[in-house]
């Protein structure tokens, strides 16, 4: 009887492999999630909310089907964020809960993320300079942990914006502290995808130290300027468009920074092939590195274009015009033209190799000034971002 009972299940296993079952489970999970969001918030939805929900659903579905590790990562982030949000829902806060104060509060989560980034960078450095596979493995593990803590911390921080006053509630991308946390988590996540795609950990010794610098800046603006404290939004930021413009730009920024590090790794690898050295064996091939910095620029350019268009729409709503030659807008145009020139030279002029690697590296200066420099040093309509 037991044999007969097992036969249909055995036939099902053979006809429906484990990978297909996992893909189906991911589709069902996301579909139920999207349906739940629609049921909970449909009274507040208008056309653009439906469009954004559909794009998020399609994007997460595609990413999860293409990259199985992303599925587990998503569940971990939801579990951590759900724990923090759940404690707030039960009436706890960082004053009466040690777990919230030292672990699940967003600021604590970003501190733990900082520790994970530091350990990850050390692990990748150990792999690059000493050839330690164990160091590279731990670098990768702590990179996953840092990304999960970063995204979960942002989700919890979103909930925390409603605690000071219900009208304060907003997506946590409103100041430099918030967006630096987003940048760190986003850059690490995209790097992990490219690491798996290239089957090499050598680039981690370039990307994670760069993220560590951004993380130190995050801690500095939090401690020195108290930007880690949640405050009400200025009128210009009280807009639906902030929810889609800023994340789009940071998908672009993350990929642009990875492209610069891949370009630097290309130049060092090329030099090591000519003169010898340990980098010759511990970095991906020149072909893979060129594909990496070109692919990340193309992907980032797509999102930067979309984000710039969304920013223009937001500007029209907030300030009455799509374009005003504000310093942030001007530098965004410079960044767009720079990477458009890169893609044109590569596709139409057939430029390859060292010139394009140098272009990717030097572009780091342009994109960094657009990302941070304008907010720090220039005024204009984006002066709310200054320290």
324 and 315 in contact (C-beta within 8 Å)? yes
- The answer to the question of residue 345 being in a domain is yes
Is residue 373 assigned to a domain? yes
How far is it, in rounded angstroms, from Cα 357 to Cα 266? 7
pTM exceeds 0.85 for this model = yes
Low-confidence ranges of the chain (pLDDT < 50): 1-6, 8-13
pLDDT at 12 (0 to 100): 41
Is 67 inside any structural domain?
no
Instruction: Please report whether residue 372 resides in a domain.
Output: yes
Assigned domain for 86 exists = no
Write down the H helix ranges in the chain: 2-15, 18-41, 47-66, 68-89, 98-99, 106-130, 133-164, 176-198, 204-225, 242-275, 279-282, 286-319, 327-347, 354-368, 374-377
Confirm if 166 and 91 have CB atoms less than 8 A apart: no
Summarize pLDDT for 328-348 with one digit per residue, the tens. Answer: 889 999 999 999 999 999 988
- For residue 375, the model assigns a pLDDT of 80
Range(s) of the domain holding residue 190:
106-385
On whether residue 122 sits in a domain, the answer given is: yes
Q: CA-to-CA distance for 284 and 290, rounded, in angstroms?
A: 10
pLDDT, residue 103, reads 96
Question: 168 to each of 67, 100, 178, 230, how far by Cα in Å?
Answer: 36, 21, 15, 9
Distances (CA, A) of 237 to 158, 228, 250, 337, 382: 15, 17, 17, 27, 10
Within a domain: 241: yes
Instruction: Indicate whether 50 belongs to any domain.
Output: no
Closest CA to 84 of 105, 101, 98: 105
Q: Structurally, how many domains does the chain consist of?
A: 1
């Amino acid at each position: 009887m037991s044999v007969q009972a097992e036969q249909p299940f055995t036939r099902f296993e053979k006809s429906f492999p484990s990978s297909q079952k996992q893909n189906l489970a991911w589709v069902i999970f996301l579909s139920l999630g999207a349906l739940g969001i629609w049921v909970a918030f449909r009274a507040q939805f208008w056309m653009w909310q439906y469009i954004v929900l559909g794009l998020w659903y399609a994007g997460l579905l595609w990413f999860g089907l293409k990259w199985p590790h992303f599925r587990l990562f998503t569940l971990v982030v939801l579990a951590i964020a759900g724990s923090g949000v759940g404690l707030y829902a039960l009436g706890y806060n960082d004053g009466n809960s040690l777990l919230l104060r030292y672990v699940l509060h967003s600021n604590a989560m970003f501190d733990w993320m900082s520790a994970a980034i530091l350990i990850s960078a050390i692990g990748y450095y150990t792999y690059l300079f000493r050839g330690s596979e164990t160091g590279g493995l731990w670098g990768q593990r702590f990179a996953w942990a840092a990304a999960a803590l970063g995204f979960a911390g942002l989700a919890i921080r979103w909930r925390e914006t409603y605690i000071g006053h219900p009208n304060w509630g907003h997506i946590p991308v409103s100041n430099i502290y918030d967006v630096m946390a987003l940048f760190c988590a986003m850059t690490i996540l995209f790097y992990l995808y490219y690491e798996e795609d290239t089957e090499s950990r050598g680039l981690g010794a370039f990307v994670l130290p760069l993220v560590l610098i951004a993380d130190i800046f995050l801690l500095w603006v939090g401690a020195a300027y108290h930007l880690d404290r949640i405050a009400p939004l200025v009128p210009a930021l009280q807009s639906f468009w902030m929810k889609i413009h800023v994340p789009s730009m940071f998908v672009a920024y993350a990929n642009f920074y990875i492209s610069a590090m891949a370009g630097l790794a290309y130049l060092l690898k090329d030099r090591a092939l000519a003169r010898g050295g340990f980098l010759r064996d511990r970095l991906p091939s020149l072909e893979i590195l060129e594909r990496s910095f070109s692919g990340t620029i193309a992907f980032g350019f797509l999102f930067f274009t979309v984000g710039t268009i969304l920013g223009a729409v937001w500007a029209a709503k907030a300030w009455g015009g799509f374009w005003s030659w504000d310093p942030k807008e001007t530098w965004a145009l410079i960044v767009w033209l720079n990477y458009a020139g890169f893609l044109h030279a590569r596709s139409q002029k057939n430029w390859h190799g060292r010139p394009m690697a140098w272009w990717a590296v030097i572009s780091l200066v342009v994109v960094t000034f657009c990302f941070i420099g304008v907010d720090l040093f220039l005024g204009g309509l984006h002066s709310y971002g200054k320290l």
